[in-house]
Amino acid sequence: MKEFIFKHKTTIIGAIIGGFAGLAYWYFVGCADGTCAITSNPYRSSAYGLFMGAIAGDGFKAKEKKETSI
């Protein structure tokens, strides 16, 4: 479990930040009449932010060096 966390730490951190950002967007901006698909519900807004944060965090991963043997 510890290895998984250290291997995917940027993705996990991005997902956490994205989840909070989605919740903050719902709280401060949101959708007053409830017709918006994502921002009318705090769970959907947080899940969307979590997903987007995970994608963004995955982009910051350091590329692994491949060893080539001759």
* Average pLDDT of the chain, as a whole number: 86
pLDDT at 8: 87
Residues making up the chain, counted from first to last: 70
Pick 50 or 67 by higher pLDDT: 50
Q: pLDDT (tens digit, 9 = 90+) per residue, 24-50?
A: 998 998 887 778 888 888 899 999 999
Nearest to 60 by CA among 2, 5, 8: 8
For the chain, domain boundaries: 10-59
Read off the pLDDT of each residue in 7-27 and give the average, rounded to a whole number. Answer: 92
The burial class, CB within 10 Å (0-12 / 13-18 / 19+), for 53 is buried
Pick 68 or 10 by higher pLDDT: 10
pLDDT interval class at 11 (50, 70, 90)? very high
* Residue 38 CA: distances (Å) to CA of 22, 35, 45, 66: 10, 9, 5, 41
